[in-house]
Amino acid sequence: MAKYNLTVNGKKYTVDADPDTPLLWVIRDYVGLKGTKFGCGMALCGACTVHLDGQPIRSCSTPVSTVKATNKITTIEGISNNTDHAVQKAWIEAQVPQCGYCQSGQIMSAVALLKTNPNPSDSDIDEAMSGNICRCGTYPRIRKAIHHAAELMKDSGNSTGK
Amino acid sequence: MRTSTELNRRNFLKASGLSGAAFILGLSARASESSEQAIENLSLLEDSFELTPFVIIKKSGKITIMNSKPEIGQGTWQAIPMIIAEELELGLDQYEIKQTSGDKKFGGQTAGGSSSVRTSYATLRKTGAAAREMLVQAAAQTWSVPVDECYAERANVFHKASGKKLAYSALVETASKLEVPKEPKLKDSKDFKLIGKQTQRQDIPLKVKGQATFGMDVEVPNMVYASVERCSVFGGKIQQIDDSQTLKVKGVLQVVRAERVLGKNRYEVVAVIASNYWAALKGRKALKVTWDYQGNDQFSSKQFEQQLRDLSKNEGVVDHNQGDFDKNYAEAPVKLEVFYETPMVSHSPMEPMNCIASWSGDKVEVWASSQGPDLLRNRVADAFAIPADNIKVNIFFNGGGFGRRLYQDFATESVSIAKAVGKPVKVIWTREDDTTQGPFRPMTFSALKGALTADGKALAFEHKVISPSINATQNKNYDKTKSDNTMTEGISEQQYEIPHIKNYYVHAETHIPMAAWRAVTSTTLSFAHECFIDEMAYKANKDPFDFRLDMLQKDTDTKRVMLKLKEVSQWSKPLPKGWARGVAQWEFFAGLAAQVVEVSKKPSGGVKIEKVYAVIDLGTVVNPDTVKAQVEGAVTMAIGAATKDAITFEKGQVQQSNFHDNRMVRIEEMPIVEVHILAEGGPKIKGVGEPGLPPFAPALANAIFAATGKRIRRMPFDLDKV
């Protein structure tokens, strides 16, 4: 076991974990934020997607020892305070989630996409979202919601759409 | 002592269809419940009153409506309470929703068979209407005015003439002392404010901020974690356990033997217990278990498939027989005889199986994502021969179900481990466990015969199903001498007016556990059945849509659905060059839907699915947007089952393990899905969650035939290679 300093959603945490413990389980069971989900453990489904310094990563395959205290980790709980991020608003508007289990990961991938590409085409969306599996089949609505979020962000003139 | 009011309430429940349920009023009748339940209910019911078990109104103003059907993505979290809220004159923002825990007073609580809304709609409306009438009567009494001068709206009762109003919270105590009306007046559907309208689901805001609690997210005090080693060959027995390396892993606490009870099967397992999940998993990787495979390591899919083909020569058990198939087939001028094959598939909900259980004294408690709290309770009671009343169940949002969470093996296993450990244990399955350990959707093979008249009309039709049986692999008392309705699902329910029909079932024995999978056996039988109808159409030189309509002369739901589909899909209009379309429909216990699939030939070879037109027949619809979402989802799942990976066996072991070799549909593979709902109101109400699945695979294969001339008779098939 070793001590690790982490910055999650702007808050600092010290956790005592095995070096090879995936960041996913540290976020869920040590930090206590359950919005990030376990789906496959092999970076195949995207349910565990979080941002590391703004980049989407698969936390199930990222050992905690590779994360520095200076890295900023953002989880689904950290993208807005009042569920008012453009992507969240668009997700509600399009009634995207069904079971909802994969949706934290879907939203984190969508937020990262819109940060770098504020006006994505359908094929841009396919490329950015291809790593996130949804077994309920919410894909048509995800596509629609990302286009809508892009519009909301344009209207508000910032990258969160607030 | 029971008061007469209580007895009347019992009568009400019987009248409203919840027979056998105990109706409990206020705090007085809590003694019959277990102590844990009593504590929970006391906190819930402080200064509060139940007008029915489903509606709890606190004097402080808080209103709770119970959801009796677990939310697995299908929208019951909204739909079930909303049906009550409609009659009770509540807005969607005016009440909280709480999941029931298997308590008998709520009736059946299992979400399966697309049954949640269609089987409880009438009862729930009556429940809400009765509560509304009691509140209105309480207000009329309070004001000493006639009841018909009062009305309810948004949690208040108003007096029309004076404009006086009282909140439900102020009326509930008086209302709770009134007799429950036996036949409350239901609202006219034209006055509905919620049912049939485009409304937003209350679980969605939780799900976009990571705040919806799934079974996977639950923690209980003093809980330890477990990762479980199960035999890679079904039915293997433990010979030897070497846990010397496991116990050296930091965080590992102990290794215990336990069992996973799945229907009639009791599988031996070894659980590694640790203070955190990662340690449990590492400890499990270091574990060495020697298994006696009981000979089941000889099982292979290739061999089993050959066995099914050989079995097709057997007569089997007759499922349906009308007219005289044998004579008419023998004498017919035009005949076809073909064979269709489909595979086993996994459910693979995104939330892998998991469960927390505790066993303390004679009390068991379970926290889980499950499709049925009542099922879970009964399965655990049966598995360990303990009274169901000693088992408390807590149900959370399910991260997908698709039938997998109808089977409570994840719970029996956790309970077994908790019993051995003496502490609450959280078992988390890996994706590999979830993929390899079943139960699976069974494959079905179909031997089909068809005959046409000289002028190309369908004369005789035979569908023989050869397959393992879900029931046989789950239930001890399976009767092989009878036809198996689950395995012949739908094949004798199609509305085509063919004079001579004979359908059979041939049972194939296996030790592999099988399960209902979303839309069950219809997902494989529709493929064989509706592709074969297409083959008959081409053989008759008829348009496949018109060939079907020719066989639908009577005014049936199927006919109306097909006519609607022909119109919305613009079947008669030409498509762009290189495109083609196929059609299929399917009626079965859950409901009825039909689809047209359009495909285009790719320049690189193979085909692309361009567009799906779906018509679903419902009668009454509760939330049209949820219906559309369910059909979109059903199509997605059907694409996967038709064109992705099957579950296959070699040396008794499943060959797939995770999403790299058991691939799921991804966003770039998703066609446009256009959903049309036939909902003319009235008493008819059909299922939503499943009917969107069965028509897809045959409509796709029929489209591929139209595009390429190649008839596909085996699933899955690779779209790049057809």
The nearest alpha carbon in chain A to B672 belongs to A140
> Is A133 inside a domain boundary?
yes
Chain B CB contacts of A43 below 8 Å: none
Average pLDDT, chain B: 93
Please tell me the distance from the alpha carbon of residue A109 to that of residue B366, in angstroms, as a whole number: 34
Q: Are residues B43 and B104 in the same domain?
A: yes
Question: Are the Cβ atoms of B72 and A99 closer than 8 angstroms?
Answer: yes
- What are B9-47's pLDDT values in tens digits? 433 333 333 322 222 222 222 333 333 343 334 334 446
Domain boundary residue, one of A43, A58, A78: A78
Pair B620, B681: CB distance under 8 Å: yes
Q: How far apart are CA A7 and CA B392, in angstroms?
A: 39
Both B335 and B449 in one domain: the answer is yes
In a domain, A59, yes or no: yes
Q: Is A98 on the interface with B (CB under 8 A)?
A: yes
Cβ of B278 and A20 within 8 Å?
Answer: yes
Cα of B382 to nearest chain A Cα, Å: 29
Domain-ending residue, one of A46, A78, A110 = A78
Per CB-CB distance under 8 Å, the chain B contacts of A134 are 350, 636, 667
Q: Is residue B717 part of a domain?
A: no
Question: What does pLDDT average to over chain A?
Answer: 96
**Segments forming the whole domain that contains residue B657:** 301-344+440-708
Claim to verify: residue B672 and residue B590 sit in the same structural domain? yes
With tokens 């409306």, the residue in question is: B125
Residues B168 and B236 in one domain: no
Domain-located, residue B552: yes
CB-nearest to B200 from A47, A75, A95 is A95
Q: Are residues B84 and B191 in the same domain?
A: yes
Instruction: State which amino acid sits at residue A155.
Output: D
CA angle B303, B306, B311 (to 5 degrees): 125
Whether residues A122 and A139 share a domain: the answer is yes
Give the pLDDT confidence of B376-402 residue by residue, as tens digits: 999 999 999 999 999 999 999 999 999
Distance from CA of A157 to the nearest CA of B (A): 22
**Nearest residue, CB atoms, A77 vs list B209, B279, B666:** B209
Task: Decide if B399 and A100 are in contact by the 8 Å CB cutoff.
Answer: yes
Nearest to B659 among A29, A125, A133 (CB): A133
Q: What is the CATH number of the domain that holds A34?
A: 3.10.20.30
Compute CA B645 distance to the chain's CA centroid, rounded to the nearest angstrom.
21
Please name the residue ranges forming H helices in B144-210.
Answer: 168-176, 204-207
User: CB distance B205–A92 less than 8 Å?
Assistant: yes
A95/B201 CB distance under 8 A: yes
How many domains are contained in chain A? 2
Would the CB atoms of B428 and A38 count as touching at under 8 Å?
A: yes
Mutate to test the interface with B, among A92, A135, A148 (most CBs of B within 10 A): A135
- Best mutation site among B199, B200, B206, B207 for testing chain A: the one with the most A CBs within 10 Å? B207
Q: Which two tokens stand for residue B46?
A: 């402080």
Do A25 and B636 lie within an 8 Å CB cutoff?
A: no
* 3-state secondary structure at position B611: strand
Regarding whether A146 and A103 lie in a shared domain, the answer is yes
| CB-CB under 8 Å, B206 with A20 | no
The answer, yes or no, to whether residue B237 has pLDDT greater than 70, is yes
Percent of chain B with pLDDT over 70: 93
pLDDT per residue over A146-156, tens digit each? Answer: 999 999 999 88
Shared domain for A23 and A63, answered yes or no, is yes
3-class state of residue B534 by DSSP: helix
Indicate the residue among B207, B226, B258 that finishes a domain: B207
- B430 vs B606: CA distance, rounded Å: 35
pLDDT value for B34: 39
Domain count, chain B: 3
> Is the domain of A74 the same as that of A132?
no
Of the candidates B25, B34, B236, the one whose C-alpha atom is nearest the C-alpha of residue B134 is B25
Domain housing A38: 2-78
Claim to verify: residue B382 and residue B501 sit in the same structural domain: no
Residue from the list A41, A138, A141 with its beta carbon closest to the beta carbon of B430: A41
Residues 6+ apart with CB under 8 A from A158: none
Looking at the domain assignment, is residue B99 inside a domain? yes
Nearest CB to B278 within list A18, A125, A133: A18
DSSP string computed for B29-82: TGGGS-HHHHHHHHHHHTTEEEEETTEEEETTS-EEEEE-S--SSSSHHHHHHH
Assigned domain for B142 exists: yes
What are the counts of helices (DSSP H) followed by strands (DSSP E) for chain B?
18, 27
Do both A70 and A90 map to the same domain?
no
Tell me the pLDDT band of A113, cut-offs 50, 70 and 90. very high
| pLDDT confidence of residue B12 | 36
| Residue B719 domain flag | no
Assign A158 a pLDDT band (cuts: 50, 70, 90): confident
Within-domain flag for A103: yes
| Domain identity same for A46 and A91 | no
Which tens digits make up the pLDDT trace of B56-87?
A: 999 899 999 999 999 999 999 999 999 999 99
Based on the fold, state whether residues B185 and B290 are members of the same structural domain: no
- Give residue B449's identity as a one-letter amino acid code: K
B138 in a structural domain: yes
Q: Are residues A69 and A107 in the same domain?
A: no
Residues B196 and B316 in one domain: no
**Among A21, A50, A78, residue at a domain's last position:** A78
Q: Give the CATH number for residue A120.
A: 1.10.150.120
| Per-residue pLDDT band at B476 (split at 50, 70, 90) | very high
Distance from CA of B589 to the nearest CA of A (A): 22
Task: Give the model confidence (pLDDT) of B667-702 as tens digits.
Answer: 999 999 999 999 987 778 999 999 999 999 999 999
In chain A, which among 59-88 make CB contacts under 8 A with chain B? 75-77, 80, 83, 88
pLDDT of B50 higher than 80 = no
Q: Name the residue among A39, A130, A139 with its Cβ closest to that of B350.
A: A39
Q: CB A92 to CB B204 under 8 A?
A: yes
Q: Is residue A162 part of a domain?
A: no
Query: What digits encode the pLDDT tens for the residues A67-106?
Result: 999 999 999 999 999 999 999 999 999 999 999 999 999 9
| Paired residues of B669 in beta bridges | none
pLDDT of residue A85: 97
Q: Is A97 on the interface with B (CB under 8 A)?
A: yes
The answer to whether residues A30 and A90 belong to one domain is no
**A135 lies in some domain:** yes
Determine, yes or no, domain membership for A161: no
A123 shares a domain with A148: yes
> What is the mean pLDDT of the segment spanning B596-614?
97
Look at strands B48-52 and B55-58 and give their pairing: antiparallel
* Residues B270, B653: Cα–Cα separation, whole Å: 18
- Residue B157 domain-assigned? yes
Distance CA B131, CA B689 (A): 29
Cβ-proximal residues to A68 (8 Å cutoff; 6+ apart), any chain:
none
Report the residue of chain A nearest B673, measured CA to CA. Answer: A140
CATH of the domain at B370: 3.30.365.10
Cβ within 8 Å of B, A 119-158: 123, 125-127, 129-130, 132-143
The reported pLDDT for the residue numbered A142 is 98
> For residue B718, is it within any domain?
no
- Asked if the structure places residue A134 within a domain, the reply is yes
Final residue before a domain boundary, out of B185, B207, B229: B207
pLDDT bracket for residue B360 (50, 70, 90) = very high
pLDDT value at residue B306: 98
pLDDT on residue B683: 78
- For B319-358, how does the pLDDT look when each residue is reduced to its tens digit (9 = 90+)? 999 999 999 999 999 999 999 999 999 999 999 999 999 9
Q: Are residues A56 and A106 in the same domain?
A: no
A98–B633 CB contact, under 8 Å: yes
Task: State the pTM of this model.
Answer: 0.94
Residue B3: the pLDDT is 33
Residues of chain B in contact with residue A2, where contact means CB-CB under 8 angstroms, are none
Which residue has tokens 């004076």? B162
Q: What is the pLDDT of residues B496-553, one digit of tens each?
A: 999 999 999 999 999 999 999 999 999 999 999 999 999 999 999 999 999 999 999 9
Is the pLDDT at A5 greater than 90, yes or no?
yes
One domain, residues B220 and B359: yes
Q: Which of B21-25, B226-230, B421-425 has the lowest mean pLDDT?
A: B21-25
Q: Which of A161, A18, A126, A101 is nearest to B349 (CA)?
A: A101
Judgement on whether residues A72 and A13 belong to the same structural domain of the protein: yes
Are the Cβ atoms of B216 and A143 closer than 8 angstroms? no
Is the CB of A92 inside 8 Å of chain B's CB atoms? yes
Residues B687 and A61: their CA atoms lie apart, in Å, by: 40
Q: Looking at the structure, do residues B234 and B131 belong to the same domain, yes or no?
A: no
DSSP designation for B219: -
Q: Which residues in B lie closer than 8 A to residue A97 (C-beta atoms)?
A: 73, 203-204, 207-208
Q: Which of B404, B428, B452 is the last residue of a domain?
A: B428
User: Within chain A, how many helices (H) and strands (E) appear?
Assistant: 5, 5
> Is the predicted pLDDT of residue B2 greater than 90, yes or no?
no
What gap in Å lies between CA B413 and CA B419, rounded to an integer? 10
For residue B624, say if its preceding peptide bond is cis, omega within 30 degrees of 0. Answer: no
Asked if the Cβ–Cβ distance from B208 to A130 is below 8 Å, we say: no
* C-alpha–C-alpha distance, residues A50 and B605, integer Å: 38
Q: Which H helix or E strand runs over B592?
A: strand B591-601
B41 and B141 co-located in one domain: yes
pLDDT digits (tens, 9 = 90+) for B285-313: 999 999 999 999 999 999 999 999 999 99
- Contact: B670, A133; criterion CB under 8 Å: no
Give the distance from residue B170's alpha carbon to the nearest chain A alpha carbon, in angstroms: 32
Residues B585 and B480 in one domain: yes
